A and B are shown apart, each in its own frame.
Chain A
Protein backbone atom coordinates (compact mmCIF):
# COMPACT_ATOMS: atom_id res chain seq x y z
CA UNK A 1 0.00 0.00 0.00
CA UNK A 2 2.78 2.47 0.88
CA UNK A 3 4.25 2.26 -2.64
CA UNK A 4 0.94 3.52 -3.98
CA UNK A 5 0.43 6.21 -1.33
CA UNK A 6 4.00 7.48 -1.63
CA UNK A 7 4.36 7.05 -5.39
CA UNK A 8 4.59 10.83 -5.86
CA UNK A 9 6.69 11.55 -2.77
CA UNK A 10 10.02 12.17 -4.53
CA UNK A 11 8.63 14.18 -7.43
CA UNK A 12 6.29 16.26 -5.25
CA UNK A 13 8.43 16.39 -2.10
CA UNK A 14 7.61 20.04 -1.40
CA UNK A 15 3.93 19.84 -2.22
CA UNK A 16 1.31 19.55 0.57
CA UNK A 17 0.13 15.98 0.95
CA UNK A 18 -1.85 16.12 4.19
CA UNK A 19 -3.67 19.10 5.65
CA UNK A 20 -4.95 18.75 9.20
CA UNK A 21 -6.76 21.30 11.36
CA UNK A 22 -3.46 22.53 12.78
CA UNK A 23 -0.72 21.06 10.62
CA UNK A 24 0.23 20.64 6.99
CA UNK A 25 2.67 18.00 5.79
CA UNK A 26 4.42 17.88 2.44
CA UNK A 27 4.88 14.63 0.56
CA UNK A 28 8.53 14.73 1.63
CA UNK A 29 7.57 15.04 5.30
CA UNK A 30 5.04 12.24 5.00
CA UNK A 31 7.62 9.96 3.45
CA UNK A 32 10.36 10.68 5.98
CA UNK A 33 8.02 10.40 8.98
CA UNK A 34 6.62 7.11 7.69
CA UNK A 35 10.17 5.76 7.32
CA UNK A 36 11.05 6.88 10.83
CA UNK A 37 7.98 5.19 12.28
CA UNK A 38 8.76 2.03 10.30
CA UNK A 39 12.21 1.97 11.82
CA UNK A 40 10.71 2.30 15.31
CA UNK A 41 8.25 -0.50 14.61
CA UNK A 42 11.10 -2.79 13.60
CA UNK A 43 12.96 -1.84 16.78
CA UNK A 44 9.87 -2.75 18.80
CA UNK A 45 10.45 -6.35 17.81
CA UNK A 46 7.40 -6.75 15.61
CA UNK A 47 7.36 -9.16 12.70
CA UNK A 48 5.60 -9.34 9.33
CA UNK A 49 1.96 -10.26 9.84
CA UNK A 50 1.71 -9.02 13.43
CA UNK A 51 -1.46 -7.02 14.10
CA UNK A 52 -1.26 -3.45 15.35
CA UNK A 53 -4.44 -1.90 16.73
CA UNK A 54 -4.57 1.81 15.90
CA UNK A 55 -6.90 3.89 18.04
CA UNK A 56 -6.44 7.32 16.50
CA UNK A 57 -8.52 10.10 15.06
CA UNK A 58 -7.90 10.72 11.34
CA UNK A 59 -5.00 13.04 10.63
CA UNK A 60 -1.50 13.24 9.17
CA UNK A 61 -0.03 11.07 11.95
CA UNK A 62 -2.45 8.28 11.16
CA UNK A 63 -1.57 8.27 7.44
CA UNK A 64 2.16 8.16 8.22
CA UNK A 65 1.53 5.28 10.59
CA UNK A 66 -0.47 3.38 7.98
CA UNK A 67 2.41 3.79 5.51
CA UNK A 68 4.89 2.63 8.17
CA UNK A 69 2.82 -0.45 8.96
CA UNK A 70 2.70 -1.26 5.25
CA UNK A 71 6.49 -0.83 4.94
CA UNK A 72 7.07 -3.26 7.78
CA UNK A 73 4.43 -5.80 6.75
CA UNK A 74 2.41 -5.18 9.90
CA UNK A 75 -1.36 -5.46 9.78
CA UNK A 76 -3.28 -2.24 10.46
CA UNK A 77 -6.34 -2.74 12.70
CA UNK A 78 -8.07 0.66 13.09
CA UNK A 79 -10.57 1.23 15.90
CA UNK A 80 -12.48 4.36 16.80
CA UNK A 81 -11.39 6.28 19.93
CA UNK A 82 -15.13 6.65 20.61
CA UNK A 83 -15.69 2.90 21.04
CA UNK A 84 -16.58 1.56 24.47
CA UNK A 85 -13.26 0.49 26.06
CA UNK A 86 -14.49 -3.07 26.46
CA UNK A 87 -15.22 -3.37 22.74
CA UNK A 88 -11.79 -1.97 21.89
CA UNK A 89 -10.14 -4.46 24.23
CA UNK A 90 -12.21 -7.31 22.78
CA UNK A 91 -11.06 -6.38 19.27
CA UNK A 92 -7.42 -6.26 20.38
CA UNK A 93 -7.80 -9.64 22.04
CA UNK A 94 -9.65 -11.17 19.09
CA UNK A 95 -7.06 -9.85 16.63
CA UNK A 96 -4.29 -11.27 18.86
CA UNK A 97 -2.61 -7.91 18.46
CA UNK A 98 1.07 -7.38 19.21
CA UNK A 99 0.89 -3.62 19.65
CA UNK A 100 -1.85 -1.19 20.62
CA UNK A 101 -1.33 2.44 19.61
CA UNK A 102 -3.76 4.45 21.68
CA UNK A 103 -5.02 8.00 22.00
CA UNK A 104 -6.76 7.55 25.39
CA UNK A 105 -6.10 5.36 28.41
CA UNK A 106 -9.58 3.90 28.95
CA UNK A 107 -8.96 0.52 27.35
CA UNK A 108 -5.40 -0.05 28.59
CA UNK A 109 -6.35 -1.82 31.81
CA UNK A 110 -8.65 -4.15 29.92
CA UNK A 111 -5.97 -5.26 27.45
CA UNK A 112 -3.99 -8.49 27.71
CA UNK A 113 -0.88 -7.94 29.87
CA UNK A 114 1.48 -9.16 27.17
CA UNK A 115 0.25 -6.61 24.63
CA UNK A 116 2.72 -3.79 23.98
CA UNK A 117 1.24 -0.29 24.01
CA UNK A 118 2.40 3.05 22.72
CA UNK A 119 1.35 6.52 21.62
CA UNK A 120 2.28 8.79 18.78
CA UNK A 121 3.90 11.99 19.98
CA UNK A 122 5.24 14.61 17.55
CA UNK A 123 5.36 12.00 14.81
CA UNK A 124 7.26 9.44 16.86
CA UNK A 125 6.16 6.21 18.47
CA UNK A 126 6.59 6.35 22.24
CA UNK A 127 6.20 2.93 23.81
CA UNK A 128 4.40 2.92 27.16
CA UNK A 129 4.48 -0.84 27.66
CA UNK A 130 6.79 -3.22 25.87
CA UNK A 131 6.36 -6.91 25.28
CA UNK A 132 9.04 -9.62 25.20
CA UNK A 133 10.79 -9.63 21.82
CA UNK A 134 10.04 -12.73 19.79
CA UNK A 135 12.81 -14.42 17.80
CA UNK A 136 13.68 -12.60 14.58
CA UNK A 137 11.41 -13.73 11.77
CA UNK A 138 12.72 -12.20 8.58
CA UNK A 139 10.55 -12.64 5.55
CA UNK A 140 9.56 -10.44 2.63
CA UNK A 141 6.27 -8.55 2.51
CA UNK A 142 4.14 -9.93 -0.31
CA UNK A 143 1.13 -8.42 -2.06
CA UNK A 144 -0.86 -11.36 -0.77
CA UNK A 145 -0.04 -10.49 2.86
CA UNK A 146 -2.70 -8.82 4.94
CA UNK A 147 -2.66 -5.02 4.87
CA UNK A 148 -5.47 -4.41 7.32
CA UNK A 149 -8.36 -5.90 9.24
CA UNK A 150 -11.43 -3.75 9.82
CA UNK A 151 -13.85 -4.95 12.46
CA UNK A 152 -17.51 -4.25 11.72
CA UNK A 153 -20.75 -5.22 13.37
CA UNK A 154 -21.23 -9.00 13.30
CA UNK A 155 -24.35 -11.15 13.32
CA UNK A 156 -22.87 -13.52 15.91
CA UNK A 157 -22.80 -10.79 18.54
CA UNK A 158 -19.07 -10.16 18.15
CA UNK A 159 -17.39 -7.69 15.77
CA UNK A 160 -16.43 -9.31 12.48
CA UNK A 161 -12.90 -8.77 11.11
CA UNK A 162 -12.73 -8.19 7.37
CA UNK A 163 -9.23 -9.09 6.14
CA UNK A 164 -7.83 -7.20 3.17
CA UNK A 165 -4.54 -7.94 1.46
CA UNK A 166 -2.26 -5.37 -0.13
CA UNK A 167 -3.23 -6.81 -3.51
CA UNK A 168 -6.93 -6.32 -2.85
CA UNK A 169 -6.45 -2.71 -1.75
CA UNK A 170 -4.27 -1.97 -4.78
CA UNK A 171 -6.84 -3.52 -7.12
CA UNK A 172 -9.49 -1.28 -5.58
CA UNK A 173 -7.34 1.85 -5.75
CA UNK A 174 -6.60 1.17 -9.44
CA UNK A 175 -10.32 0.87 -10.12
CA UNK A 176 -10.91 4.08 -8.18
CA UNK A 177 -8.17 5.88 -10.09
CA UNK A 178 -9.65 4.73 -13.39
CA UNK A 179 -12.90 6.50 -12.58
CA UNK A 180 -11.79 9.34 -10.31
CA UNK A 181 -8.21 10.29 -11.22
CA UNK A 182 -7.41 13.78 -9.95
CA UNK A 183 -4.78 16.40 -10.69
CA UNK A 184 -1.90 17.42 -8.47
CA UNK A 185 -3.63 20.71 -7.67
CA UNK A 186 -6.72 19.00 -6.34
CA UNK A 187 -7.59 19.03 -2.66
CA UNK A 188 -9.72 16.12 -1.43
CA UNK A 189 -11.77 16.53 1.73
CA UNK A 190 -12.01 13.46 3.98
CA UNK A 191 -14.22 13.08 7.03
CA UNK A 192 -14.36 9.30 7.55
CA UNK A 193 -13.03 7.78 10.78
CA UNK A 194 -10.15 5.35 10.32
CA UNK A 195 -12.29 2.35 11.24
CA UNK A 196 -14.53 3.09 8.24
CA UNK A 197 -12.83 1.91 5.04
CA UNK A 198 -14.00 5.08 3.34
CA UNK A 199 -10.79 6.50 4.86
CA UNK A 200 -8.76 4.01 2.77
CA UNK A 201 -10.63 5.17 -0.31
CA UNK A 202 -9.89 8.81 0.53
CA UNK A 203 -6.17 8.23 1.05
CA UNK A 204 -5.81 6.37 -2.24
CA UNK A 205 -7.98 8.89 -4.05
CA UNK A 206 -5.86 11.90 -3.04
CA UNK A 207 -2.33 10.59 -2.57
CA UNK A 208 -2.54 8.18 -5.51
CA UNK A 209 -3.07 11.21 -7.76
CA UNK A 210 -0.47 13.44 -6.13
CA UNK A 211 -3.29 15.60 -4.77
CA UNK A 212 -3.66 16.88 -1.18
CA UNK A 213 -5.84 15.22 1.47
CA UNK A 214 -7.62 17.62 3.81
CA UNK A 215 -9.03 16.34 7.09
CA UNK A 216 -12.45 17.81 7.84
CA UNK A 217 -13.48 17.93 11.53
CA UNK A 218 -16.07 15.18 11.97
CA UNK A 219 -18.76 17.25 13.70
CA UNK A 220 -18.56 20.23 11.35
CA UNK A 221 -21.43 19.04 9.09
CA UNK A 222 -23.79 19.89 11.95
CA UNK A 223 -23.03 23.57 11.23
CA UNK A 224 -23.71 23.98 7.49
CA UNK A 225 -22.26 27.49 7.21
CA UNK A 226 -19.10 26.49 9.10
CA UNK A 227 -18.64 23.37 6.95
CA UNK A 228 -19.03 25.32 3.73
CA UNK A 229 -16.66 28.03 4.97
CA UNK A 230 -14.08 25.41 6.00
CA UNK A 231 -14.15 23.75 2.58
CA UNK A 232 -14.33 26.99 0.60
CA UNK A 233 -11.48 28.82 2.35
CA UNK A 234 -9.22 25.78 2.01
CA UNK A 235 -10.05 25.36 -1.68
CA UNK A 236 -11.40 21.83 -1.52
CA UNK A 237 -12.05 20.56 -5.06
CA UNK A 238 -13.53 17.17 -4.18
CA UNK A 239 -15.37 16.23 -1.00
CA UNK A 240 -15.85 12.58 -0.12
CA UNK A 241 -18.32 11.37 2.48
CA UNK A 242 -21.63 9.77 3.31
CA UNK A 243 -24.76 11.68 2.24
CA UNK A 244 -25.48 12.45 5.91
CA UNK A 245 -22.73 15.09 5.93
CA UNK A 246 -24.67 17.13 3.35
CA UNK A 247 -28.16 16.73 4.81
CA UNK A 248 -27.93 19.61 7.32
CA UNK A 249 -26.97 21.86 4.38
CA UNK A 250 -29.92 20.61 2.36
CA UNK A 251 -32.26 21.11 5.33
CA UNK A 252 -31.04 24.65 5.82
CA UNK A 253 -31.43 25.41 2.11
CA UNK A 254 -29.16 24.27 -0.67
CA UNK A 255 -28.18 27.89 -1.36
CA UNK A 256 -25.89 27.67 1.67
CA UNK A 257 -23.59 25.67 -0.65
CA UNK A 258 -23.11 28.59 -3.03
CA UNK A 259 -19.64 29.61 -1.70
CA UNK A 260 -18.24 26.24 -2.83
CA UNK A 261 -17.11 27.66 -6.17
CA UNK A 262 -13.96 25.50 -6.29
CA UNK A 263 -15.76 22.27 -5.44
CA UNK A 264 -15.86 20.33 -8.70
CA UNK A 265 -16.84 16.88 -7.48
CA UNK A 266 -18.47 15.08 -4.61
CA UNK A 267 -18.09 11.35 -4.06
CA UNK A 268 -20.60 9.63 -1.82
CA UNK A 269 -20.94 6.11 -0.47
CA UNK A 270 -22.13 4.21 2.57
CA UNK A 271 -25.77 5.14 2.16
CA UNK A 272 -28.02 6.46 -0.60
CA UNK A 273 -28.86 9.96 -1.67
CA UNK A 274 -32.48 10.26 -2.71
CA UNK A 275 -33.23 11.66 -6.16
CA UNK A 276 -34.87 14.84 -4.71
CA UNK A 277 -31.71 15.46 -2.64
CA UNK A 278 -29.56 15.22 -5.77
CA UNK A 279 -31.93 17.54 -7.63
CA UNK A 280 -31.40 20.13 -4.89
CA UNK A 281 -27.63 19.67 -4.87
CA UNK A 282 -27.47 20.09 -8.63
CA UNK A 283 -29.70 23.11 -8.41
CA UNK A 284 -27.32 24.77 -5.92
CA UNK A 285 -24.10 23.69 -7.69
CA UNK A 286 -25.04 23.12 -11.34
CA UNK A 287 -21.58 22.09 -12.53
CA UNK A 288 -20.87 19.70 -9.67
CA UNK A 289 -19.84 16.18 -10.63
CA UNK A 290 -21.54 13.79 -8.20
CA UNK A 291 -20.04 10.30 -8.03
CA UNK A 292 -22.14 7.48 -6.62
CA UNK A 293 -19.75 4.92 -5.10
CA UNK A 294 -21.29 1.61 -4.15
CA UNK A 295 -19.96 -1.44 -2.44
CA UNK A 296 -19.20 -3.43 0.63
CA UNK A 297 -16.24 -3.36 2.99
CA UNK A 298 -15.34 -6.82 1.69
CA UNK A 299 -13.97 -5.07 -1.43
CA UNK A 300 -13.96 -1.47 -0.08
CA UNK A 301 -16.33 -0.59 -2.96
CA UNK A 302 -17.09 -2.21 -6.27
CA UNK A 303 -18.59 0.42 -8.53
CA UNK A 304 -18.56 4.12 -9.37
CA UNK A 305 -20.91 6.05 -11.55
CA UNK A 306 -21.30 9.73 -12.26
CA UNK A 307 -24.84 10.83 -11.49
CA UNK A 308 -26.53 12.22 -14.59
CA UNK A 309 -26.56 16.02 -14.57
CA UNK A 310 -29.30 16.98 -14.46
CA UNK A 311 -30.71 13.83 -12.93
CA UNK A 312 -34.09 12.71 -14.17
CA UNK A 313 -36.38 13.79 -11.34
CA UNK A 314 -38.81 10.90 -11.93
CA UNK A 315 -36.16 8.26 -11.18
CA UNK A 316 -36.85 6.16 -8.10
CA UNK A 317 -33.27 5.04 -7.52
CA UNK A 318 -29.85 6.36 -8.43
CA UNK A 319 -27.91 3.79 -10.52
CA UNK A 320 -24.50 2.81 -9.22
CA UNK A 321 -22.82 1.71 -12.43
CA UNK A 322 -21.51 -1.60 -13.71
CA UNK A 323 -18.44 -2.20 -11.57
CA UNK A 324 -14.95 -0.70 -11.71
CA UNK A 325 -12.47 -2.27 -14.16
CA UNK A 326 -11.05 -4.68 -11.58
CA UNK A 327 -14.31 -6.43 -10.70
CA UNK A 328 -17.21 -8.25 -12.28
CA UNK A 329 -20.70 -7.86 -10.84
CA UNK A 330 -23.13 -10.73 -11.32
CA UNK A 331 -26.80 -11.04 -10.46
CA UNK A 332 -28.12 -14.47 -9.55
CA UNK A 333 -31.67 -15.56 -8.88
CA UNK A 334 -32.71 -17.83 -6.00
CA UNK A 335 -31.74 -20.89 -8.06
CA UNK A 336 -28.27 -19.55 -8.75
CA UNK A 337 -29.03 -18.73 -12.38
CA UNK A 338 -27.55 -15.55 -13.81
CA UNK A 339 -30.07 -12.76 -14.47
CA UNK A 340 -29.56 -10.91 -17.73
CA UNK A 341 -32.82 -9.06 -18.24
CA UNK A 342 -33.37 -5.53 -16.89
CA UNK A 343 -35.70 -4.96 -13.96
CA UNK A 344 -35.44 -8.39 -12.37
CA UNK A 345 -34.07 -8.41 -8.81
CA UNK A 346 -31.43 -10.89 -7.69
CA UNK A 347 -28.53 -11.16 -5.28
CA UNK A 348 -25.31 -9.42 -6.22
CA UNK A 349 -22.11 -11.47 -6.44
CA UNK A 350 -18.69 -9.99 -6.93
CA UNK A 351 -15.63 -11.43 -8.67
CA UNK A 352 -12.18 -9.88 -8.88
CA UNK A 353 -8.85 -9.13 -7.26
CA UNK A 354 -10.17 -6.52 -4.83
CA UNK A 355 -12.04 -9.08 -2.74
CA UNK A 356 -11.25 -9.59 0.92
CA UNK A 357 -9.53 -12.81 1.91
CA UNK A 358 -11.96 -13.81 4.64
CA UNK A 359 -13.25 -12.95 8.09
CA UNK A 360 -10.62 -13.10 10.81
CA UNK A 361 -10.72 -16.45 12.59
CA UNK A 362 -14.23 -17.17 11.34
CA UNK A 363 -13.99 -19.91 8.72
CA UNK A 364 -17.73 -20.60 8.73
CA UNK A 365 -18.65 -17.01 7.94
CA UNK A 366 -15.86 -16.90 5.35
CA UNK A 367 -17.18 -20.03 3.62
CA UNK A 368 -20.68 -18.57 3.57
CA UNK A 369 -19.54 -15.30 1.99
CA UNK A 370 -16.64 -16.38 -0.26
CA UNK A 371 -18.23 -19.02 -2.45
CA UNK A 372 -17.00 -20.86 -5.57
CA UNK A 373 -17.13 -18.51 -8.53
CA UNK A 374 -20.67 -19.12 -9.86
CA UNK A 375 -19.57 -18.54 -13.45
CA UNK A 376 -16.45 -20.74 -13.27
CA UNK A 377 -17.08 -23.08 -10.33
CA UNK A 378 -14.11 -25.35 -11.09
CA UNK A 379 -11.53 -22.58 -11.45
CA UNK A 380 -10.73 -22.51 -7.75
CA UNK A 381 -11.54 -18.79 -7.71
CA UNK A 382 -13.97 -17.37 -5.17
CA UNK A 383 -16.76 -14.85 -5.50
CA UNK A 384 -18.26 -12.69 -2.77
CA UNK A 385 -21.92 -13.33 -2.04
CA UNK A 386 -22.74 -9.76 -1.03
CA UNK A 387 -26.21 -10.09 0.49
CA UNK A 388 -27.22 -7.03 -1.55
CA UNK A 389 -30.31 -7.22 -3.73
CA UNK A 390 -30.00 -5.43 -7.07
CA UNK A 391 -31.39 -5.18 -10.57
CA UNK A 392 -30.19 -3.69 -13.83
CA UNK A 393 -31.75 -0.77 -15.63
CA UNK A 394 -32.10 -0.45 -19.40
CA UNK A 395 -28.53 0.85 -19.73
CA UNK A 396 -27.05 -2.06 -17.84
CA UNK A 397 -26.39 -0.07 -14.68
CA UNK A 398 -27.16 -1.65 -11.34
CA UNK A 399 -29.79 -0.43 -8.88
CA UNK A 400 -29.81 -1.27 -5.16
CA UNK A 401 -32.94 -2.91 -3.69
CA UNK A 402 -31.97 -3.60 -0.09
CA UNK A 403 -30.50 -6.55 1.77
CA UNK A 404 -31.29 -10.23 2.03
CA UNK A 405 -30.45 -10.03 5.75
CA UNK A 406 -30.93 -7.60 8.64
CA UNK A 407 -27.94 -5.37 7.94
CA UNK A 408 -28.73 -1.65 8.04
CA UNK A 409 -26.66 1.51 7.72
CA UNK A 410 -26.64 4.17 10.43
CA UNK A 411 -24.76 7.31 9.35
CA UNK A 412 -22.91 5.10 6.86
CA UNK A 413 -21.89 2.61 9.55
CA UNK A 414 -22.77 -1.00 8.94
CA UNK A 415 -25.00 -2.38 11.70
CA UNK A 416 -26.12 -5.98 12.06
CA UNK A 417 -29.34 -5.85 14.06
CA UNK A 418 -28.64 -9.35 15.33
CA UNK A 419 -25.56 -8.09 17.19
CA UNK A 420 -27.71 -5.69 19.21
CA UNK A 421 -30.31 -8.40 19.77
CA UNK A 422 -27.65 -10.72 21.14
CA UNK A 423 -26.56 -8.07 23.63
CA UNK A 424 -30.14 -7.55 24.76
CA UNK A 425 -30.95 -11.25 24.75
CA UNK A 426 -28.02 -12.03 27.05
CA UNK A 427 -29.73 -10.08 29.85
CA UNK A 428 -31.32 -12.57 32.27
CA UNK A 429 -34.62 -10.66 32.42
CA UNK A 430 -35.13 -10.54 28.64
CA UNK A 431 -37.34 -13.30 27.34
CA UNK A 432 -37.31 -12.27 23.69
CA UNK A 433 -36.30 -9.24 21.68
CA UNK A 434 -36.19 -7.71 18.24
CA UNK A 435 -34.38 -4.59 17.04
CA UNK A 436 -35.71 -2.62 14.10
CA UNK A 437 -34.51 0.43 12.19
CA UNK A 438 -37.09 3.08 11.36
CA UNK A 439 -36.88 6.39 9.56
CA UNK A 440 -37.53 9.06 12.19
CA UNK A 441 -37.69 12.84 11.98
CA UNK A 442 -33.95 13.16 12.56
CA UNK A 443 -32.69 10.15 10.60
CA UNK A 444 -32.60 6.40 11.05
CA UNK A 445 -33.45 5.31 14.60
CA UNK A 446 -33.04 1.95 16.26
CA UNK A 447 -35.94 0.66 18.34
CA UNK A 448 -35.59 -2.32 20.65
CA UNK A 449 -38.72 -4.36 21.32
CA UNK A 450 -38.45 -6.71 24.26
CA UNK A 451 -40.51 -9.02 26.38
CA UNK A 452 -39.37 -9.61 29.93
CA UNK A 453 -39.64 -12.54 32.26
CA UNK A 454 -40.95 -11.86 35.75
CA UNK A 455 -42.64 -8.58 34.86
CA UNK A 456 -39.62 -6.42 35.83
CA UNK A 457 -40.01 -4.08 32.85
CA UNK A 458 -39.33 -0.86 34.74
CA UNK A 459 -36.03 -2.11 36.12
CA UNK A 460 -34.68 -3.77 33.05
CA UNK A 461 -34.39 -0.85 30.61
CA UNK A 462 -31.63 1.09 32.44
CA UNK A 463 -29.54 -2.06 32.75
CA UNK A 464 -30.12 -2.86 29.08
CA UNK A 465 -28.86 0.61 28.21
CA UNK A 466 -25.79 0.04 30.39
CA UNK A 467 -25.18 -3.30 28.72
CA UNK A 468 -25.38 -1.79 25.22
CA UNK A 469 -23.26 1.23 26.17
CA UNK A 470 -20.51 -1.02 27.49
CA UNK A 471 -20.38 -3.22 24.42
CA UNK A 472 -21.57 -1.33 21.34
CA UNK A 473 -20.59 1.83 19.46
CA UNK A 474 -22.83 4.79 20.21
CA UNK A 475 -24.60 4.57 16.84
CA UNK A 476 -25.75 1.01 17.70
CA UNK A 477 -27.48 2.08 20.93
CA UNK A 478 -31.27 1.78 20.50
CA UNK A 479 -32.90 5.20 20.87
CA UNK A 480 -36.09 3.71 22.25
CA UNK A 481 -36.94 0.55 24.20
CA UNK A 482 -40.47 -0.82 23.98
CA UNK A 483 -41.59 -3.48 26.41
CA UNK A 484 -44.31 -5.70 24.97
CA UNK A 485 -46.38 -8.56 26.34
CA UNK A 486 -45.36 -10.60 23.31
CA UNK A 487 -43.73 -10.10 19.93
CA UNK A 488 -45.70 -10.81 16.74
CA UNK A 489 -44.63 -13.93 14.86
CA UNK A 490 -44.65 -14.59 11.11
CA UNK A 491 -46.00 -17.74 9.50
CA UNK A 492 -42.41 -19.04 9.51
CA UNK A 493 -42.18 -18.67 13.27
CA UNK A 494 -39.83 -15.68 13.19
CA UNK A 495 -40.43 -12.37 14.93
CA UNK A 496 -42.43 -10.18 12.55
CA UNK A 497 -40.17 -7.14 12.35
CA UNK A 498 -42.37 -5.51 9.71
CA UNK A 499 -45.41 -5.52 12.00
CA UNK A 500 -43.37 -4.03 14.83
CA UNK A 501 -42.15 -1.24 12.53
CA UNK A 502 -45.68 -0.55 11.29
CA UNK A 503 -46.95 -0.45 14.88
CA UNK A 504 -44.18 2.00 15.82
CA UNK A 505 -45.09 4.28 12.92
CA UNK A 506 -48.74 4.11 13.98
CA UNK A 507 -47.79 4.93 17.57
CA UNK A 508 -45.85 8.00 16.41
CA UNK A 509 -48.33 9.24 13.84
CA UNK A 510 -50.35 11.60 16.09
CA UNK A 511 -47.20 13.59 16.87
CA UNK A 512 -46.72 14.27 13.14
CA UNK A 513 -50.15 15.81 12.71
Chain B
Protein backbone atom coordinates (compact mmCIF):
# COMPACT_ATOMS: atom_id res chain seq x y z
CA UNK B 1 0.00 0.00 0.00
CA UNK B 2 1.24 3.47 -0.92
CA UNK B 3 2.24 5.58 2.03
CA UNK B 4 -0.04 8.46 0.98
CA UNK B 5 -3.07 6.15 0.88
CA UNK B 6 -2.24 4.76 4.29
CA UNK B 7 -1.76 8.23 5.74
CA UNK B 8 -5.17 9.29 4.45
CA UNK B 9 -6.88 6.15 5.75
CA UNK B 10 -5.29 6.18 9.20
CA UNK B 11 -6.12 9.87 9.69
CA UNK B 12 -9.69 9.14 8.72
CA UNK B 13 -9.78 6.22 11.16
CA UNK B 14 -8.50 8.39 14.01
CA UNK B 15 -10.96 11.16 13.25
CA UNK B 16 -13.91 8.76 13.15
CA UNK B 17 -13.00 6.53 16.07
CA UNK B 18 -11.05 8.51 18.61
CA UNK B 19 -13.22 11.10 20.32
CA UNK B 20 -13.97 12.80 17.02
CA UNK B 21 -10.65 14.61 17.05
CA UNK B 22 -9.66 16.00 13.66
CA UNK B 23 -6.41 14.28 12.68
CA UNK B 24 -5.82 15.79 9.26
CA UNK B 25 -2.81 17.87 10.21
CA UNK B 26 -1.08 15.46 12.55
CA UNK B 27 2.56 14.76 11.73
CA UNK B 28 3.77 11.27 10.89
CA UNK B 29 6.20 11.28 13.80
CA UNK B 30 3.80 12.72 16.37
CA UNK B 31 2.95 10.49 19.33
CA UNK B 32 -0.78 9.85 18.91
CA UNK B 33 -1.29 8.78 22.52
CA UNK B 34 0.43 11.82 23.95
CA UNK B 35 -1.60 14.06 21.64
CA UNK B 36 -4.80 12.52 22.97
CA UNK B 37 -5.79 11.28 19.52
CA UNK B 38 -5.58 7.63 20.53
CA UNK B 39 -6.28 5.93 23.82
CA UNK B 40 -5.09 2.50 24.88
CA UNK B 41 -8.65 1.18 25.01
CA UNK B 42 -9.02 1.98 21.28
CA UNK B 43 -6.16 -0.37 20.47
CA UNK B 44 -8.31 -3.37 19.49
CA UNK B 45 -10.11 -1.29 16.83
CA UNK B 46 -6.80 0.09 15.58
CA UNK B 47 -5.33 -3.41 15.31
CA UNK B 48 -8.34 -4.56 13.27
CA UNK B 49 -8.04 -1.48 11.08
CA UNK B 50 -4.35 -2.14 10.41
CA UNK B 51 -5.17 -5.75 9.49
CA UNK B 52 -7.75 -4.48 6.98
CA UNK B 53 -5.18 -2.14 5.46
CA UNK B 54 -2.66 -4.93 5.20
CA UNK B 55 -5.15 -7.47 3.89
CA UNK B 56 -4.38 -9.98 6.65
CA UNK B 57 -4.17 -9.86 10.44
CA UNK B 58 -1.06 -8.06 11.67
CA UNK B 59 1.53 -10.14 13.52
CA UNK B 60 1.43 -9.17 17.18
CA UNK B 61 3.97 -11.70 18.43
CA UNK B 62 6.98 -9.45 18.09
CA UNK B 63 5.65 -5.92 18.54
CA UNK B 64 5.16 -3.71 21.58
CA UNK B 65 3.01 -0.68 22.31
CA UNK B 66 5.63 1.56 20.72
CA UNK B 67 4.63 0.24 17.28
CA UNK B 68 1.33 2.13 17.62
CA UNK B 69 2.70 5.44 18.86
CA UNK B 70 3.07 7.20 15.49
CA UNK B 71 1.74 6.92 11.95
CA UNK B 72 5.35 6.51 10.73
CA UNK B 73 5.95 3.58 13.06
CA UNK B 74 2.63 1.90 12.16
CA UNK B 75 3.42 2.12 8.46
CA UNK B 76 6.94 0.79 8.99
CA UNK B 77 6.01 -2.07 11.35
CA UNK B 78 2.73 -3.25 9.83
CA UNK B 79 2.31 -2.11 6.25
CA UNK B 80 5.71 -1.66 4.62
CA UNK B 81 7.29 -4.78 6.14
Query: Which residue numbers of A lie inside 8 Å of B, CB to CB?
Result: 21, 57, 81-82, 217-220, 222-223, 225-226, 230, 248, 411, 440, 442-445, 461-462, 465-466, 469, 474-475, 477, 479-481
Contacts and interface: CB of A to CB of B under 8 A. Distances in A.
Contacts of B34: 465-466, 469, 477
Contacts of B40: 411, 474-475, 477
Interface in B42-81: 42-45, 47, 57, 60-66
A442 B62 contact: no
Contacts of A218: 64-65
Nearest to B34: A469
A367 to B, nearest CB: 35
B40 to A, nearest CB: 6
Interface of A is mostly: mixed
Contacts of A222: 43-44, 47, 60
Which of B19, B44, B45, B62 gathers most chain A CB within 10 Å? B44
Contact of A442 (B42, B63, B66): B42
Nearest to B61: A217
A466 B36 CA distance: 9
A200 B63 CA distance: 23
A222 B43 CA distance: 8
27 contacts: A21-B61, A82-B64, A82-B65, A217-B60, A217-B62, A217-B63, A218-B65, A219-B43, A219-B47, A219-B60, A219-B65, A220-B60, A220-B61, A222-B43, A222-B60, A226-B57, A226-B60, A411-B40, A445-B41, A465-B36, A469-B33, A474-B40, A474-B65, A477-B39, A479-B36, A479-B39, A481-B36
B59 to A, nearest CB: 8
Contacts of B43: 219, 222
Contact of A474 (B33, B44, B47): B33
Nearest to B42: A442
A445 B64 CA distance: 21
Contacts of B64: 57, 81-82, 218-219
A357 B68 CA distance: 38
Given A218-B64, A226-B61, 13 more contacts: A219-B63, A219-B64, A220-B60, A222-B47, A248-B44, A442-B45, A444-B41, A445-B39, A445-B41, A462-B36, A465-B35, A469-B31, A479-B36
Which of A223, A226, A440 gathers most chain B CB within 10 Å? A223
Contacts of A461: 36
A21 B60 CA distance: 11
A423 B41 CA distance: 22
